[in-house]
Amino acid sequence: MGGVLVVFAVIGVVLVAVIGLVALGAVTRRLAAEPGRSVFEGDEALAFVAEALPRWDTAELSYDEVARTMRLHLDVLHARGVARSGGDLDLEGGPVVLDPDTVVAEIVERAGRVAFFPDPTHVADIVAAQLAYFEAIGVVDPVLEPALAELAELDRPADGDDPGR
């Protein structure tokens, strides 16, 4: 009788181990297919951006103004579907290209809604520095000139196509 219990206990332990390993393999396979997550650290980003700004900006802007502008930039990116939060990872779609001038104008417009009126040239410098931070932590890939040329080709009509039709 005691031997039967030992056999059932061993079979139970082996069964639990196999189920655990199968579950672990499934999760590992799923996570391997997802892109790596880069974590945006607010204080680290602020220090990086403040250090990257030109002297004329740092002479006129406070840390608080830089931080507010950075937050507005994140809000714009989130509204456009570029920035994501927590678990809202979207594996669909392709690259998203935003015009920097349009982003700056939208940041200035959003800032005005909360009685904050940054100079657009300062905003453009902060956006450029924040994008450099995103590139440094691996959130965005650097855009190379050949890649820009390929994107421009997509907008041109093929030979023989009449764009007026």
pTM, 2 dp: 0.63
pLDDT tens figures, 110-152: 999 999 999 999 999 999 999 888 888 877 766 555 555 565 5
Range with lowest mean pLDDT among 42-46, 86-90, 96-100, 102-106: 86-90
Q: Nearest Cα to 120, choosing from 135, 106, 139, 140?
A: 106
As a residue count, the chain comes to 165
pLDDT tens figures, 5-64: 888 889 999 999 999 999 988 888 887 776 666 666 778 899 999 999 999 888 899 999
- CA 136 vs. chain centroid, Å, equals 12
The residue ranking higher by pLDDT, 84 or 122, is: 122
How many whole angstroms separate alpha carbon 48 and alpha carbon 136? 10
Give residue 82's pLDDT: 76
How many whole angstroms separate alpha carbon 116 and alpha carbon 114? 6
| Cα distance between the two ends of the chain | 87
Q: Which sign, positive or negative, has the C-alpha torsion 53, 136, 141, 96?
A: negative
pLDDT-derived band at 105, boundaries 50, 70, 90? very high
Confidence check: pLDDT of 157 > 70: no
Give residue 148's pLDDT: 56
The residue ranking higher by pLDDT, 162 or 86, is: 86
Name the 3-class secondary structure at 53.
coil
